[in-house]
Amino acid sequence: MPFAFRHPFWLLMVASLLALRAAGQEPLKVGEVASLTGKEGTFGQSSHKGTLLAVEKLNAGGGLLGRKIELVTEDNQSKQGESATATRKLISRDKVIAVLGEVASSRSLEMAPLAQAAHVPMISPSSTNPKVTAIGDYIFRVCFIDPFQGTVMAKFARDTLHLRRVAVLDSVSSAYSVGLAKYFKAGFAAGGGTIALEQKYSEGDKDFKAQLTVIKAAGVDGIFVPGYYTEAALICRQARQLGLDYPIFGGDGWEGSPLLEIGGKAVEGIYYSTHYSPENQAPAVQAFVRDFQARFGGEIPDAMAALGYDSAMVLADAVRRAGTTEGDKVRDALAATKDYPGVTGSTTIDAQRNASKAAAIFTVQDGKFKFVESIAP
Ligand code: PHE
C-alpha cells in the first residue's frame, strides 16, 4: 500500500498542528499561599478547597483565554516568615500570573510587598486588616475590612446584647487582632459604651487566667476577643472556669470547627461575625454549597471556602476582561471589577482595592454554629 494511504498527509498535518497547539498551550499558573497545616490549618484547608473548586470549574468550562489553569499551592504551615518564602518561590520559580492568599492578615502583609515589587497581582480572599491592600496598587481583596467588621460587632454588642461596659482581649502578635480591637473600641465608644479595659496576649498562648482575672476584677458585662479560634476557644473555657458568665464575642477569626472541638460547652452562646452563611437561600450560594459538598465528601463550606472560591473567580473574570495575563493589564482589570456576582455577595473593587459586603453574625447552639442575622454595609 502506498505510504500516503497508510499515513495520510492530512493526519500528519493534524498531528503536527495539535503538537504545535499543545506547545503553546502551557497551563496558566496561578499561585496560592495557604496555611494547610499548623495552628490555622482549617483556615487554609477551607480556603484552598474553595479556590480549587473554582479552578476545577473554570477548567471544566475551557479554562482561561483558551488555556487550562494550574493552581500552584504553597503551605506556610501557619508559620511566620513562610508566606514570604512561598510567595518568592511562586513568583520566581513558577512565574505565576497572580497570587491568591492569605487568610490571616499578618501573613498577607508578608506576601504583599513581594507581589507589589514584582508587579504580580495579589488577591487576598479574606484578610480584613486595612493595611493589606494599602501596600500597593497590585494588592486586592474580595472581603470587607475591619473598620466595618469592628463597627458591626460594636453595634451588635450594644443594641442586641445590651452591653454597656466591656473588656477587650486581643493578640499583640496579630495585625488582624490589633486592628479589629481598635475599630471595635472606636465603634463601641462612639455608640456611648464604655471600654473598661484592654488586656493582651500573643499567638500561641495557652494560659489566659492572668488577663481574665484582671478582667473579672474590673466588673464588665462582656468581653470582645478579636482573635483566632484556638486562643478564642481556650479563652472561653478559662473564662467560664473563673465564673465569668457574660457574653464573649469576636470576629471572623473564630470561625472553624476547632472552636467547637476545643471550646466544648464553654463556647455555647458566643457570637462572632463572618462573611457568609451556607444557610443563605440565594441560588448562587445554594449551588456553591451543593458543588462543594459533592466535591469534598459532604463538607459544608464555611466563609473561608466561599471567599477562596470568589477570589479565584474574580481573578478569572479580570483576566478574561483584560484578554491577557500581563500583570499590569490584569491589575487594571481587577481594579475595574464592578458588581461581580459571587457566593459572598456582589464584588465591586473600590479605590482602595477593597470590597464591601454584608457581615453575617453567628452563635453556637447545642454544639453547632447557628446563623443569627446579616448586617449590610
Ligand atoms: N479576617 C481574618 C484576618 O484578617 C482572617 C479570617 C477570614 C478568618 C475569614 C476567618 C474567616 O486575619
Mutational pocket test of ligand 1: of 252, 255, 311, the residue with most ligand atoms within 8 Å of the beta carbon: 252
Residue 22 Cα to ligand 1 midpoint, Å, equals 40
Give the pLDDT confidence score for residue 25 in this predicted structure. Answer: 80
Ligand 1 site, residue 40, Cβ cutoff 6 A: no
Look at residue 185 in the predicted model and tell me its pLDDT.
98
Give start-end residues of each CATH 3.40.50.2300 domain in the chain: 23-144+280-358, 147-274
Ligand 1 touching residue 188 (CB < 6 A): no
Which atom in ligand 1 lies closest to the alpha carbon of residue 128? 4
Helical pair 82-92 and 105-118, crossing angle rounded to 10 deg: 30
pTM of the model: 0.93
Assess whether the C-beta atom of 252 lies below 6 angstroms from ligand 1: yes
Does residue 35 line the site of ligand 1, with CB under 6 A?
Answer: no
C-alpha cell at 130: 486595612
Ligand 1 atom 11: residue of nearest CA:
252
345: left (phi over 0), alpha (psi -120 to 50) or beta: left
> According to the model, what pLDDT value does residue 10 have?
52
Cα(35)–Cα(111) distance, rounded to whole angstroms? 13
CB 129 near ligand 1, within 6 Å: yes
Ligand 1 test: best mutation among 43, 46, 139, 273, most atoms within 8 Å of CB? 43
Q: Are 138 and 327 in contact (CB under 8 A)?
A: yes
Angle at 313 between CA 328 and CA 98, to 5 degrees: 35
- Residue 24's pLDDT is 55
The CATH label, of 3.40.50.2300, 3.30.70.100, 3.30.390.50, 3.20.10.10, for the domain at 147-274 is 3.40.50.2300
The residue whose CA has the least distance to atom 6 of ligand 1 is 253
∠ at Cα 362 (110, 275), nearest 5°?
40
Q: What is the pLDDT along the chain (377 residues), one digit of tens a residue?
A: 444 445 555 554 554 444 444 445 899 999 999 999 999 999 999 999 999 999 999 999 999 999 999 999 999 999 999 999 999 999 999 999 999 999 999 999 999 999 999 999 999 999 999 999 999 999 999 999 999 999 999 999 999 999 999 999 999 999 999 999 999 999 999 999 999 999 999 999 999 999 999 999 999 999 999 999 999 999 999 999 999 999 999 999 999 999 999 999 999 999 999 999 999 999 999 999 999 999 999 999 999 999 999 999 999 999 999 999 999 999 999 999 999 999 999 999 999 999 999 999 999 999 999 999 999 99
The DSSP line for 62-116 is: T-BTTB-EEEEEEE-TT-TTHHHHHHHHHHHTS--SEEE--SSHHHHHHHHHHHH
Closest residue to atom 12 of ligand 1, CA basis: 104
Does 105 contact ligand 1 (Cβ within 6 A)?
Answer: yes
Indicate the top mutation candidate among 108, 110, 176 to test ligand 1's pocket, ranked by most ligand atoms within 8 A of CB. 176
Which grid coordinates are listed for 262? 476545643
**Residues facing 120 on adjacent strands:** none
Q: How far is the CA of 251 from the centre of ligand 1 (A)?
A: 8
How many Cβ atoms sit within 10 Å of the Cβ of residue 313? 23
Predicted confidence at residue 82, as pLDDT, reads 98
What pLDDT, on a 0 to 100 scale, did the predictor assign at position 3? 46
d(CA 215, CA 219): 7
Domain 23-144+280-358, architecture per CATH: 3-Layer(aba) Sandwich (3.40)
Question: Which of the listed residues 128, 131, 143, 230 should we mutate to test ligand 1's pocket, taking the one with most ligand atoms within 8 A of CB?
Answer: 128
Residue 357 to residue 376: CA distance in whole angstroms: 7
pLDDT of the residue at 23? 46
What is the position in ligand 1's atom list of the atom closest to the CA of 40?
8
Measured in whole angstroms, the distance separating CA 300 from the mean position of its chain's CA atoms is: 16
| Per-residue pLDDT, 11 | 53
Is the CB of 171 inside a 6 Å radius of any atom of ligand 1? no
Residue 253 in contact with ligand 1 by CB distance below 6 A: yes
